[in-house]
Chains A and B, each alone.
Chain A
Amino acid sequence: MIRSLFSVRHRELPEPVEPGTVLTSAHELHVKLGARHVLRGVDIEARASEVVALVGPNGAGKSTLLAALATDLAPDSGTVRICGRDAGTWSAGELALRRAVLPQSAQLSFPFLVEEVVRMGRAPWSGTPLADNDDEVIAAALRATEATEFTGRPFSALSGGERARVALARVLAQQAPLLLLDEPTAALDLRHQELVLRVCRERAAAGDAVVVVLHDLGLAAAYADRVAVLHEGTIAADGPPAEVFDGELLSRVYRQPVEVLPHPRTGTLLVFPERG
């Protein structure tokens, strides 16, 4: 088809990246939504082969920051770079080969089957040599999120948690080196929360950069290489969980007394609200 002829010529395919390469970065980012100054000078970066968790109280600007990194929002000032170039200089098709985004809630206007939904994640690759792997990639993504058993069902017939996993499978099928996940664990049970974070680790081990918004600080401590704590539109702390998770800092940011303890057996940090 004519379309597939054109599509390859206009798109620059992503190069394989070395571990540690900065895949996305924001510098002095300011975003206003209406009258509210949601982000006030945020600096953050995510490198290949690492999982970065964005945590913070409601309204701290986590989702806004993720949306800015995803280029959904134009920042009022500051820059966002993706794969070494200013985000605005990529075409929509080129960006789709470089970053995949999991929205907070998965919606679908028409009753597509689960397999069709996951296949949509392959759309950016159509017309490239990698499109030949579509079936294997889709099957692998469904296996990774334990969604294989729903393949033939309409997406609209799934429960909230099942939809969330299918949406994640679609994002994985996109095979972008930069993954931006907005609360992927929100609708999930205990087992699948762990599963999703393990998938994040696997993607990082395979060389991707994963930026994930989390509410569960225990999950962030256990799985993230780096945690960025957002507080009123600024980064209050950014570093490995062992450095960032400090009872005093978290208590101040969340306005709730918080205790941080090492797990007696594994040594992973556990975060608890102090209760009477």
Chain B
Amino acid sequence: MTATVAPSKDAEPSAAEGPATPKSPSGRARRSIPYLLTVGMLAGLVVICLLSAGIGAYKIPLGDVIGSVQHRIGLGGAALDRVGESVLWNVRFPRVVLALIVGASLGCAGALMQGVFGNPLAEPAVIGISSGAAVGGVASIAFGLTFLGTWTLPVCAFVGGLVTVFLVYAMSRSGGRTEVVTLILTGVAVTAFGMAMIGLFIFFADNAEVTQITFWQLGSLAQATWPKVLAVLPWALVGLAIAPFYSRKLDLLALGERPARHLGVDVERMRVVLMFTTALLTAAAVAVSGIISFVGLVVPHLLRMLAGPGHRFLIPGSALGGALVLAVCDLTARTIAAPAELPLGVLTGLIGSPFFFWLLRRTRRKQGGWA
């Protein structure tokens, strides 16, 4: 290693290196990557939104999509015929917007969870939060709850997610740390319990409800409508708005709980707020699309590899990246086997699981076993 400097009587040699330049080349490169990534992801989002809007059983040329959007926001362009206009604005666009909301929520929730647990394997679906939210959602369908109108399902999902997030947290920590094994096993246990609960609800539900539950559980955006968008948008927005305020504190939390507190972070309060936020975001996603796994795992991880672990970029970046990934996945899911439609959760699971395997093996190698 290069730890020892040239032999000398005192600390002179380090001073002789001249004024230190903390901005090393790799440090500077890291700083410009976030901008490039942000621009790239935004451009990707615009392209994929326009493509998603045009592609499908009823094809709408790209020029017509742009024209119709221009027409609606009063910038020239022209409206399409009645069918085209209806397909575009009542079927395609709600679906695209819903994909963006769900993706952004999952990506952001993943980044937050990993920061709070100090563990790159934490993800709402992996550690069981999603299944907790799903239990809430399924319960609201099975019992035919409607006390809050279209908000009923999101509220129930939120309560389910919130209970689970605190449960997992309380069970998987010991001595101020969360070990990977404990976390994953807790997730397994919680998910098993959640699935059993869902099974129980399905057992007692009537046929119509069973169909509804099963369809919802597979994770699909096929039933997207504007009221549905409005039912989850506020949840997602609140969550996405709170998250960036904690980016610097999450950086400090990487040092450990005590050091973070020594640097002025009110760790307990931050943790409660962020668990709440994660539950909000997960509930928003689960409420519309059932359990969609791995987006919250893969997206923050890739971004961390590309742009470094700083949460200032990671949190908004994961929201953007999640939205992009989910929009692409949804487009793929509904075109790859057209006219049939692949459930979205199935697709993300197919892509995400191998990545999760790889990540597990890598973490294991780095730690030299689970101990």
Contact = CB atoms under 8 A, between A and B. Distances in A.
B263 A110 contact: no
Contacts of A118: 22
A183 B119 CA distance: 27
A159 interface: yes
B354 interface: no
Nearest to B27: A152
Contacts of B245: 3
B146 interface: no
A101 B26 CA distance: 29
B252 to A, nearest CB: 5
B259 A126 contact: no
Interface in B13-27: 14-15, 17, 19-27
B229 to A, nearest CB: 29
Given A107-B256, A159-B3, A113 B264 contact: no
A103 B22 contact: no
Interface in A140-193: 140, 142-144, 146, 148-149, 151-153, 159, 161-162, 174, 189, 191-192
Nearest to B24: A152
Interface residues of A, number: 53
B233 to A, nearest CB: 23
Contact of A124 (B10, B17, B263, B310): B263
A28 B19 CA distance: 47
Interface residues of B, number: 43
Contacts of B252: 120, 123
A193 B194 CA distance: 54
Contacts of A174: 263
Which of B24, B25, B118 gathers most chain A CB within 10 Å? Answer: B24
Nearest to A126: B248
A133 B263 CA distance: 17
Contacts of A159: 1, 3
A120 B26 contact: no
Nearest to B23: A115
Nearest to B265: A92
A191 to B, nearest CB: 7
Contacts of A109: 118-119, 253-254, 256
Interface in B177-236: none
A257 to B, nearest CB: 35
Contacts of B120: 110
Nearest to A134: B22
Contacts of B259: 101, 103
Contact of B11 (A103, A126, A198): A198
Contacts of B11: 144, 146, 195, 198
A118 to B, nearest CB: 8
A113 B251 CA distance: 12
Contacts of A113: 24, 26-27, 30, 308
A116 B256 contact: no
A96 B261 CA distance: 8
Nearest to B30: A113
A110 B254 contact: yes
Interface in A1-41: 3
Q: Is the interface of B mostly helix, strand, loop or mixed?
A: loop
Contacts of A92: 261, 264-266
A138 interface: yes
A143 B254 contact: no
B255 interface: yes
A72 B261 contact: yes
A97 interface: yes
A174 B264 CA distance: 11
B261 A162 contact: no
Contacts of A151: 20-22, 24, 27
Interface string B34-59: 00000000000000000000000000
A162 B119 CA distance: 23
A76 interface: no
A69 B155 CA distance: 45
Contacts of A218: none
Contact of A70 (B22, B24, B262, B304): B262
Interface string B168-179: 000000000000
Contacts of A112: 251, 254, 308-310
A1 to B, nearest CB: 9
A189 to B, nearest CB: 7
A139 B309 contact: no
B310 A148 contact: no
Given A3-B245, A109-B119, A159-B1, A120 B263 contact: yes
Which A-B residue pairs are the 10 nearest by beta carbons?
Answer: A152-B24, A96-B264, A109-B118, A110-B309, A139-B20, A93-B264, A109-B254, A101-B262, A124-B264, A152-B26
5 contacts: A107-B256, A110-B254, A113-B24, A152-B27, A162-B3
Interface of A: 3, 70, 72, 91-97, 99-101, 103, 106-113, 115-118, 120-121, 123-124, 126, 135, 138-140, 142-144, 146, 148-149, 151-153, 159, 161-162, 174, 189, 191-192, 195, 198
Given A146-B11, A152-B25, 9 more contacts: A70-B258, A72-B258, A91-B266, A92-B261, A101-B258, A112-B251, A117-B255, A120-B263, A135-B22
